[in-house]
Structure 1
Amino acid sequence: MTTHDAGTESAPLVTTSSGRVRGTVRDGIERFLGIPYADAPLGPLRFALPAPPSAWAGERDATSAGPTAPQNPYGGALARILPTVIIPGEEFLNLNIATPADRGTGLLPVMVWFHGGSLQHGSNALAGYDGGAFARDGIVFVAPNYRLGAEGFSVLDGAPLNLGLADQLAALRWVRAEISRFGGDPKRVTVFGQSAGGNTISALLAHPEAPELFGRAIIQSGPLTALPRAKAGKITALMAKDLGIPATRAAFMNVSSAELLAAQARATAGSTPITGGTGYSLALDPELVPANPQDALEAGAGAGIELLIGTTTDEARLWLVPTGLVMKLNRLHLAVARRKVGISAAAVRLFTRNRPNSVTGEILGALATDKLLRVPVNQVADARLARGASTHVYEFSWPSPVEYLRAAHAVELGFVFDDLASGDSIGLAGADAPQSLATAMHKAWVDFAVSGDPGWQAWTAERPVKMFDGDANPVVAAPRDDERRAILGDTKEAL
């Protein structure tokens, strides 16, 4: 229950199991920022599973964003369009809450946001993730930080795997235990996340504890993958070699976060999800990720959890266009890439015919988008349909004019959060993005969290996809199905 100082609306106070937190209220929305959901993962807790938060005496100031997980800012061309906020401090396993000040008598639906960033960037302190529009519309919004990069996803002898994912589970357990104090219903929780945040949600869906922690999930442009320990550990091995130490918890404990970040920057230089290189991934792990998430979902994991899932039309352009790489890739690069990931020459011919005015780099980007994201979405939706599970599929296709991004990876974020005026959104979508599209997309996310129905038909054999194009936003049956079949190796449509 929230209380306020006498004579003021500026200081809501909530008592949690760890102590009291003092927030702010503005325009009918209460915000509580930087609340620890686990102890600081330092000292003996570094490279260890998250521990419950320590209690504090008195009132904790929750009026400004808490520390962020150690990370490097985006570099190169991406730094122009993808923001980074770095706030130093130890208690970076914290979460932010935005909740309506006038909550009535019943508990409200909860939405928990896990940010993206290739498992090495991002935080809840980004302006675009404020969540005020969700609270305005009757949602209790929660945004946790989690460990990133070497601190969260190293593969070390003597340390648990996927510590960042373990942090997310700890945050969800905190929500289950505490969110009713902020007006949220722990029995009506929707998790949602984009990119790496969607990737982790795909793994959370398959976790046996998932049905106790959330009933609905939204995956935005999230790879449905995890790698075997040896492959996931390549970046850890490279960093260990760079630092001249073994890849063990004991050795990494003696290296500062700053030194790890410097080694990480050297190890990941020039890498992208499209062109390859060294990066972080979920690791197959008997404890947290016992199977590849896509395989687990197709086998029935998470079938009792309602799912909204989708992609953007031009995912790969985020990495190919601002960098200029799209004009540097040639037919040799395309041939090598398609063989590496198992795409047929017939599929390449089909994609090329369907895009007569595109350069080779754009063809490669379209193939990568389908192979890595769109086709797996269809496969999971098909498998869930066979099991009677509810799935809604969308595609964001509005073309951003910024740096020729079009409907690139992450462009949809400002629309989902209905916050086109934030600098984060303007950097991706420009200053004149259509408010009508933000209204429609944000409403679909809220409606899904409230009722499980975002406003269009659930997945059927006709393959209905909601196209958020900024115009009519139509539902299209089986869009570009010839290309989907070609990626899967059904070449009769590609010949």
Structure 2
Amino acid sequence: MDDLTRREFFRRTAFGILPALALPRLVYASFPSTSTDIEVETAFGKLLGSRTEGVNIFKGVPYAGSVSGERRFLTPAPLKPWTGVRKVKRLGHPSIQAPNQTYGINEPDPAEDCLTLNIWTPANDNKKRPVMVYSHGGGYTHGSAGSVAQDGANLARMYDVVVVATNHRLGLLGYLYLDEIAGDEYAGSGNRGVQDIAIALKWVNENISAFGGDPNNVMIFGESGGGLKTSCLYAMPEAAPYFHKASIESGPGVMMKTADVAAETTELLLKQLGIARNDWRKLLKLPPSVLLDAQEQLQKMGDLSQIAGFHGIGAAGKGGFGPVVDGVVLPTHPFDPVAPSLSKEKPLLVGWNEDEFIFFAMFSGDTEAFQLTEEKLHQRIESILGDKARLVVDTYREAYPKATPTQLFIAIRSILIMGLGSITIAERKTQQEGAPAYLYNFGYKSDLKVPGTDYEFGSMHAMDIPFKFHNIDNVLDKTGHRSSGMAGNRPERFAASNNMCQLWTSFARKSIPSAKGQPAWPPYNLSTRPLMRIDTQCSVIYDRYKTVLKMWREILN
């Protein structure tokens, strides 16, 4: 392949991220259990959920009104109170998206009106439990709150927390920037997707006491696209009053899209649809399927660049849809040039999985990546970094002398797409001298093999999801037997999951992550740079990436 410019490297690095952030399609199944009805009173009316295996579950709970028809691209209509008892035992509609990108059991089809949430709680007993509000992955275009891997029942039951997950607008329905052509009513339209989550947080603040949760102790967290959304929420004035700590997982959103790039994307969309600028209101009448098709065409033909490396992966470029630094909903980049002042006193977890890139190579069908020769390694790194490739490979070879060419390739690509941005966030949060930041690597290795190879999943992208929700033993394999899905079959996976769940729920409870029998996790600092490696036995590693980080700063800054 030809030598690429730095801009083209960023474009190609990100191109593989946008369509691939959803979880792989696994064969999930529910298992028989006895359930009883459970009723709760909210500010809007009574809800009827179910109590199953020691957890009260409420699915498809509305947190805002319509976002379709004349409300498209606007803030949601107010949620209207109802009379009687509203049954909430089925997942809500995911946002409009391409087929087969959600992973819930008996999940309805995507729909434009999608603003619902799911709640898992040990009891509706007015006890003040920590509340953990999760934003799903899938970039800004795919996914839902219903994925089995992120089901909150086990986390609520085993660790005495309240878990909430939201559906919110995705793609151009959530992120089409109309501020410059549609008037004041549409100010902030480029951030409706993350604004929906902020509105859900307000609902949580006003109602979660009835579910045994503490509205004054709310943690927001999310993986991949959910990490990017969490990065934005951390910097949003509208969200600030309603959460108290955060975790950004394999989705370091240091920077987001600028308004000028967002405006160019809007012009491209109008051109794609044959709509004149002053006729933009025609967008309100088009079927969602037409808009979705136009969105996908733009993603194929447009500049899908994201700013990678030290700037994270959040800034979807021209032709893509994602949050916009608009000065309204999102006043600044989340972590550039500094961490947001409005969250200075809110503790933060941030990190990534050791082998992130295995996921992206696997789902792009790149089996060659798992059997590289030294020559092929050099060719691939040269194709993305040009004349810097030899320095990069030599530095990594010195740092990891026993690694195979494939292992070096995965290490290089993984830190580029997730690691450098995560470290930058930890550094800039620490430089504020406010609440602490905690940096981590998820390191447990799944023994499942990449199809068509003898290479294991390792700690690939999305591998942490079932571990932090303790959902590592809840799927059926192709023969109909109960299996662990991505987590693999090693019995020690349960210990790794318990460690991660303890670290996350203790952070939610008291803002200090800890796990029984594991080392104390020091806050990040700019001297010793401690990092917690999460596995069956966790370990604190100081300045883990010292050698390679110095090199990356020299060639990317």
Range class of TM-score, shorter chain:
0.7 to 0.9
CA distance in 2, matches of 1:343, 1:437: 37
* SS in structure 2 at match of 1:162: helix
Q: Deviations over 1:74-113 (max 9, x none)?
A: 68xxx9x99995534554100011111274x532111101
Does 1:245 find its partner at 2:267? no
Of the three residues 426, 447, 470, the one matched with 1:381 is 426
Deviations 1:35-75 (A, max 9, x none): 11111210111111123212222111101111111111468
Q: Is the CA contact (8 Å cut-off) linking 1:322 and 1:405 kept in structure 2?
A: no
Q: For residue 135 of structure 2, what is the aligned residue in structure 1?
A: 114
Residue 359 of structure 1 and its aligned partner are, at CA, apart by 4.4
Unpaired runs of at least 5, structure 1: 1-7
Give 1:469 deviation, angstroms.
3.1
State the TM-score, normalized to the length of structure 1.
0.86
2:488 corresponds to: 430
> Aligned residue for 1:97?
119
- Residue in structure 1 matched with residue 549 of structure 2 by the alignment: 484
- Within the alignment, does 1:40 sit opposite 2:61 as a pair? no
RMSD of equivalent CA atoms = 3.2
Offset of 1:23 from its aligned partner? 0.5
| Cα distance in 2, alignment partners of residues 311 and 145 from structure 1 | 24
Name structure 2 gaps, 5 residues minimum.
1-33, 370-375, 451-455, 477-482, 515-520
SS of 1:38 mapped into structure 2: coil
CA distance in 2, matches of 1:463, 1:42: 48
CA 1:269–1:364 in 2, change beyond 3 Å: closer, same or farther? farther
Residue of structure 1 in register with 2:298 after alignment: 267
Q: Aligned to 1:462, which of 528, 532, 544?
A: 528
Is residue 350 from structure 1 mapped to residue 395 from structure 2 by the alignment? yes
Q: What is the letter of the counterpart of residue 143 of structure 2?
A: G
CA 376–422 in structure 1, closer or farther in 2 if over 3 Å, else same = same
Question: Could you say if the C-alpha distance between residues 84 and 19 of structure 1 is closer, same or farther in structure 2, counting changes exceeding 3 Å?
Answer: closer
Deviation (angstroms), 1:426: 4.1
Contact kept? 2:124, 2:211, Cα under 8 Å = no
Give SS of 1:450's match.
helix
Runs of 4+ in 1 over 6 A off after TM superposition: 81-84, 270-277
The alignment status of 1:129 with 2:150, answered yes or no, reads yes
Q: Residues 229 and 37 (structure 1 numbering): CA distance in 2 closer, same or farther, change over 3 Å?
A: same
Instruction: Specify the alignment match of 2:358 in structure 1.
Output: 317
User: In 2, Cα distance between the equivalents of 1:161 and 1:349?
Assistant: 43
Q: Is the Cα contact below 8 Å between 2:221 and 2:227 reproduced in 1?
A: yes
Structure 2 counterparts to residues 63-212 of structure 1, below 5 A: 63-73=89-99, 87-89=109-111, 91-101=113-123, 103=125, 106-136=127-157, 137-156=159-178, 157-158=181-182, 159=186, 160-212=189-241
> Aligned pair in 2 of structure 1 residues 212, 343: CA closer, same or farther (>3 Å)?
farther
- Counting aligned pairs with the same residue, the percent is 29
Cα distance in structure 2, aligned partners of 1:114 and 1:265: 23
Do the aligned partners of 1:150 and 1:236 also contact (CA within 8 Å) in 2?
Answer: no
Give the residue type in structure 2 aligned to 1:231.
V
Q: How many Å separate the matches in 2 of 1:442 and 1:383?
A: 26
Cα distance change of structure 1 residues 320 and 421 upon mapping to structure 2, 3 Å threshold: same
Write the letter of the residue equivalent to 1:60.
Answer: R
* Cα pair distance change 1:299/1:178, threshold 3 Å: closer
Once the two structures are superposed, what CA deviation does each residue of 1:262-309 show, in whole Å capped at 9, x if it has no partner? 223333349797899953332111112222212164364421101111
What are the superposed Cα offsets for residues 172-226 of structure 1, whole Å, 9 maximum, x if unpaired? 1111111112111110100111111111111111223444211110110113220
Verify: 1:305 aligned to 2:349, yes or no: no
Question: Given residue 500 of structure 2, which amino acid in structure 1 is its aligned partner?
Answer: M
| In 2: Cα distance, 1:131 partner to 1:82 partner | 12
2:468 to 403, 410, 416: 416
Distance 2:333 2:422 in 1: 14
- Equivalent residue for 2:19? none
Q: Summarize the Cα distance change of 1:209–1:152 in structure 2 as closer, same or farther, 3 Å threshold.
A: closer
- CA distance in 2 between partners of 1:102 and 1:45 (Å): 34
Whether contact under 8 Å (2:58, 2:88) holds in the other structure is yes
The size of the alignment, in residue pairs, is 475
Shift of 1:419: 0.7
> Does the C-alpha gap of structure 1 residues 488 and 246 become closer, same or farther in structure 2, counting only changes over 3 Å?
farther
- TM-score, reference length from structure 2: 0.77
| Superposition deviation, residue 314 in structure 1 | 1.7
* 1:25 corresponds to: 51
2:40 to 10, 14, 22: 14
